[in-house]
Chains A and B, each alone.
Chain A
Amino acid sequence: MTAAIEVRDLHKSFGDNEVLKGIDFTVEDGQVVCVIGPSGSGKSTLLRCVNRLEEPTSGIVLVEGTDITDPEVDLDAVRSRIGMVFQSFNLFPHMTVLDNLTIAQRRVKKRTKAAAEVVARTNLEKVGLSEKSEAYPAHLSGGQQQRVAIARALSMDPDMMLFDEPTSALDPELVGDVLDVMRQLASEGMTMMVVTHEMGFAREVGDKLVFMDDGVILEEGAPRDVLGNPQHERTRAFLSKVL
């Protein structure tokens, strides 16, 4: 069976600054893979190379077996199968919550307004925000905005979800609600790649934990092993700071 995401010898430079220095990495179908590491180690860049928000300098990125670095690939079609959740939510501020959830369904998936709204309401209910469908993002708390952002991504019926530090911009008391939604998604079998500093979530939900440092994957394995018995000095140093 083809992996959901397979990255081979991925390099990415910004000018002279080499940010990814040869990454090999796989997410199997249905797996939850958490990526941890110090700030600036290249976690976001790796995640963004998976849906080509960032153009890889060299290497191969296979999404469900399709090489997305191929110039011939229909990038918009690939992206509509990959949900992405950002640290800063990035909801569309000029649209209601419902419109945020239906706009891409209608314009990209060509669903009718009615069909899109059915899907949107189902996903709003899933994240516990049914009553907010007519609200504008500015009137929601950060935690609610992030749950709407997750519902927006889910409304495209993605095969997998990418999360880039989804709880880092939130007040501590709002983190739990967002993690609950992600836990629920994982239990439903969603393929997930999650950049996070929430070690509890990684240990409990993750099938695999990847530690990145300075543009390389330093170690990876079962979360319990990496967190409980880190092999590298740098992993130990990082974990002693965040745990």
Chain B
Amino acid sequence: MKRSTQRRLRHGALYALFVAAVVTLVLIADWKAIRTNFLDREIFDEIWPDIFLEGAKNTVLYTAIAFTGGLVVAFALALMKLSPIGPYRWAATVFIEFFRGLPVLIVIIMFAFAIPIAFGAALPGEARGAAITALIVVSAAYMAETIRAGIQAVPQGQVEAARSLGMSETRTMFTVVLPQAVRIIIPPLTNEFVLLLKDTSLIQVAGVGLGQKELTNFSSDALNTTSNATPLIAAAVLYLVITLPLTQLVAYLERRTKKAR
């Protein structure tokens, strides 16, 4: 048999296997049960549009706050890691390694419950504020290394050229280094944004008030009151509506950066 014939046969067999698997799944699935438990129209009408106006809105809001705060803290940490002064570098390293080494859930519980006990004062915004602060801190620990690597990827000659023109260190950072670093760090930061968006589902362990539930919290509570999984499916679809464009954007940006090299 010729090589090309062999390859065609092998591909054909793989396709057949795939189709057989899908058909089997469709046949053995209990479509009636699926429709009544996961895709119930009446239950959907009950939760819509609240799942969107409260759940999705709060997910996006919490993500935006945590990401913006995380970015600012991460930038400060990156500068500390690049500092010629030892104690700054060490403090940043300890911070980064500590918060990257813990489950996010533990950090949220620490911030929401342990800090008020240990210091006799809660973080602002009550339990919800504490949980978001925890997300800021954790995402900052992840993003700091990305930003530091991006800054360091800008050739030293760029800094020297700017300094020899009389630009100050700060001016050089903002007009010469960061604009070039941004191109390198945007794809990984977008990934971090998606991870953070999903991590907002953990805020609920701190306990939130009326109208403050994010998507997961909202839908799992609806699941409990209705004893039906339709709210979960709706939440899943809403998450994908937000995250899929973002992950596609990352893929596009990465392709573009590769091409630009």
Interface residues of B (CB under 8 A from A): 155, 157-158, 160-168, 171, 175-176, 179-180, 183
Count chain A residues whose beta carbon lies closer than 8 angstroms to a beta carbon of B: 25
Complex A-B: 6 CB contacts under 8 Å = A53-B163, A79-B163, A84-B160, A90-B161, A91-B161, A109-B166
Known contacts being A94-B179, A107-B171, is A80 close to B160, with CB within 8 Å?
no
For A80, the closest partner residue in chain B by CB is B166
For residue A109, which residues in chain B have a CB less than 8 angstroms away from its CB?
166
Asked whether B167 lies within 8 Å of A53 as measured between CB atoms, the reply is no
- Give the distance in Å from the alpha carbon of A109 to the alpha carbon of B165 in the complex: 10
- Give the distance in Å from the alpha carbon of A94 to the alpha carbon of B166 in the complex: 19
- Give the distance in Å from the alpha carbon of A86 to the alpha carbon of B158 in the complex: 10
Asked whether B160 lies within 8 Å of A94 as measured between CB atoms, the reply is no
**Residue A156 interfacial (CB < 8 Å):** yes
Asked whether A77 lies within 8 Å of B166 as measured between CB atoms, the reply is yes
For residue B179, which residues in chain A have a CB less than 8 angstroms away from its CB?
94
Tally of A-B residue pairs with Cβ under 8 A?
57
- Give the distance in Å from the alpha carbon of A86 to the alpha carbon of B162 in the complex: 12
Asked whether B157 lies within 8 Å of A76 as measured between CB atoms, the reply is no
For residue B161, which residues in chain A have a CB less than 8 angstroms away from its CB?
84, 86, 90-92, 149
Asked whether B164 lies within 8 Å of A53 as measured between CB atoms, the reply is yes
For B183, the closest partner residue in chain A by CB is A94
**Residue A210 interfacial (CB < 8 Å):** no
For B156, the closest partner residue in chain A by CB is A90
**Residue A221 interfacial (CB < 8 Å):** no
For residue A82, which residues in chain B have a CB less than 8 angstroms away from its CB?
164
For B164, the closest partner residue in chain A by CB is A84
* Listed residue (B160, B166, B179) with the most chain A CB atoms within 10 angstroms of its CB: B166
For residue A93, which residues in chain B have a CB less than 8 angstroms away from its CB?
180
**Residue A104 interfacial (CB < 8 Å):** yes
Asked whether A92 lies within 8 Å of B176 as measured between CB atoms, the reply is yes
**Residue A49 interfacial (CB < 8 Å):** no
Main secondary structure, interface of B, reads helix
Asked whether A152 lies within 8 Å of B158 as measured between CB atoms, the reply is no
- Give the distance in Å from the alpha carbon of A53 to the alpha carbon of B172 in the complex: 14
For residue B162, which residues in chain A have a CB less than 8 angstroms away from its CB?
92, 104
- Give the distance in Å from the alpha carbon of A148 to the alpha carbon of B161 in the complex: 13
Asked whether A90 lies within 8 Å of B166 as measured between CB atoms, the reply is no
- Give the distance in Å from the alpha carbon of A53 to the alpha carbon of B163 in the complex: 8
**Residue A51 interfacial (CB < 8 Å):** yes
- Give the distance in Å from the alpha carbon of A86 to the alpha carbon of B165 in the complex: 12
**Residue A88 interfacial (CB < 8 Å):** yes
A88, A94, A104: the one within 8 Å of B165 (CB): A104
**Residue A103 interfacial (CB < 8 Å):** yes
**Residue A62 interfacial (CB < 8 Å):** no
A-B pairs with lowest CB-CB distance, top 6: A80-B166, A104-B165, A90-B161, A84-B164, A90-B157, A108-B166
- Give the distance in Å from the alpha carbon of A76 to the alpha carbon of B166 in the complex: 4
Asked whether A79 lies within 8 Å of B164 as measured between CB atoms, the reply is yes
- Give the distance in Å from the alpha carbon of A192 to the alpha carbon of B160 in the complex: 19
**Residue A151 interfacial (CB < 8 Å):** no
In whole Å, how far is A216's beta carbon from the nearest beta carbon of chain B? 25
B163, B168, B175, B183: the one within 8 Å of A103 (CB): B175
For residue A92, which residues in chain B have a CB less than 8 angstroms away from its CB?
158, 161-162, 176
* Listed residue (A76, A90, A109, A149) with the most chain B CB atoms within 10 angstroms of its CB: A90
Known contacts being A94-B179, A94-B180, A107-B171, is A152 close to B165, with CB within 8 Å?
yes
For residue B183, which residues in chain A have a CB less than 8 angstroms away from its CB?
94
Known contacts being A93-B180, A103-B175, A107-B171, is A80 close to B165, with CB within 8 Å?
yes
For residue A107, which residues in chain B have a CB less than 8 angstroms away from its CB?
167, 171, 175
Asked whether B160 lies within 8 Å of A53 as measured between CB atoms, the reply is yes
**Residue A60 interfacial (CB < 8 Å):** no
- Give the distance in Å from the alpha carbon of A84 to the alpha carbon of B183 in the complex: 27
Known contacts being A86-B157, A88-B157, A107-B175, is A79 close to B180, with CB within 8 Å?
no
**Residue A33 interfacial (CB < 8 Å):** no
**Residue A153 interfacial (CB < 8 Å):** yes
For residue B160, which residues in chain A have a CB less than 8 angstroms away from its CB?
53, 84, 86, 90
* Listed residue (A80, A88, A103, A107) with the most chain B CB atoms within 10 angstroms of its CB: A107
Q: Contacts A86-B157, A107-B171, A108-B167 known; list 16 others, CB within 8 Å.
A: A51-B164, A53-B160, A53-B164, A79-B165, A82-B164, A84-B161, A86-B161, A90-B155, A90-B157, A90-B161, A92-B176, A94-B179, A94-B180, A103-B175, A108-B165, A152-B165
